Structure formats: C-alpha cells, structure tokens
C-alpha cells in the first residue's frame, strides 16, 4: 500500500473513472494506474471500483469507505509537508489562493505584490473560478485559501470570515 495508489484512486473519482485522464493528469501511464489500483484492491481484499470488462463503472460501497480514509490520509500527508516546510525554512513555501476573477484582477494584485516583496521565497499561485469552484478548490486542498465576495455558507466544511 502506498501514496501513489491512494492518489490514483482519488484522481480516478475526480476524473469520472477515466484512467486515461488520470494517467495524463498525474504524468504516468494508464496501464501503471490500472495495475496500481488492482494491487491496492488485492491487498485490501475488496473491489474499490465496479467494472464492466476492464472499464471502471462505479465506486463500490467498500470503495466509498476506502475513499473516505484515503482523503483523510492525503490531507494528513499535506499537513506533514506543510510542517516540514514551516520548520525547514520559515520564509519559504507555497501559498495557493483560489479566488474569483474580480478579486484576482482588481483586489489581490497589490497584496500579492507586497507579499512577494516581503517573502521572495514564497511561491504564490492564484486559481480562478466561480464561487462554487473556489469553495471546491479549498475543500479538495488545491488551494489553502479561498477569496470570494459571494457567501460560501453552503459549505459547512469551510471556515469563512468576512473581510469587508
């Protein structure tokens, strides 16, 4: 069992069970993705995905339970990486911000420029999307922070703070 297998399972669900797309997004081969998922299923003794021939068709009930555990594990792996970054060099790292086009274009350029000036070793990346996409990027840990003018109260898994 390894983190690559977990990433493949997560990405398979995100990519509507299309292993070719999974392989492209993770820069690997489709047969390698298939093999890794099958090996994980064999190790666990369950089918994570229901199949029709070789094609993945659905996530099984045990697969849903596995997916929840994988999400927790991968979130903790991200936390461990951030701890390492924090203690290895406190003036460096990555800050990923999900935001709407309006915020990215008109509100954030000056604060981001000030951040880059104060912390030149911090890599800041902006991801733009509609408010629902901003929320989803934070939930899926594509971004650490989400900024939107619209209310995100429909997402109880997020901590929201009014900015103005």
Residues 40 and 100 in one domain: no
H/E stretch holding 123: strand 121-128
Asked if the structure places residue 44 within a domain, the reply is yes
pLDDT exceeds cutoff 70 at 89: no
Whole-model pTM: value is: 0.58
pLDDT, residue 90, reads 67
Give the pLDDT of residue 98: 94
Q: Which of 29, 47, 80 is the last residue of a domain?
A: 80
| Greatest C-alpha distance within the chain | 56
Residue ending a domain, choose from 27, 49, 80: 80
* The pLDDT of residue 14: 93
Domain range holding 125?
89-147
Residue 33 shares a structural domain with residue 53 = yes
pLDDT digits (tens, 9 = 90+) for 109-129: 999 999 999 888 888 999 999
Give the burial string for 4-28 (b: 16+ CB within 10 Å, else e).
Answer: ebbbbbbbbbebebbbebbbeebee
């Amino acid at each position: 069992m390894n983190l690559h297998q977990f990433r493949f399972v997560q990405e398979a669900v995100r990519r509507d069970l299309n292993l070719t797309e999974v392989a492209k997004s993770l820069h690997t081969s489709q047969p390698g993705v298939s093999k890794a998922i099958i090996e994980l299923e064999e190790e666990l003794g369950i089918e994570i995905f229901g199949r029709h021939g070789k094609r993945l068709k659905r996530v099984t009930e045990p697969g849903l339970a596995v997916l929840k555990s994988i999400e927790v594990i991968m979130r903790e792996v991200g936390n461990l990486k951030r701890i390492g970054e924090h203690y290895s060099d406190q003036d460096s790292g990555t800050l990923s911000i999900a935001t709407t086009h309006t915020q990215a274009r008109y509100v954030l350029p000056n604060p981001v420029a000030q951040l880059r000036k104060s912390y030149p070793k911090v890599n800041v990346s902006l991801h733009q999307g509609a408010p629902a996409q901003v929320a989803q990027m934070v939930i899926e840990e594509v971004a650490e922070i989400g900024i939107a003018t619209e209310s995100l109260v429909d997402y109880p898994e997020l901590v929201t703070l009014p900015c103005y």
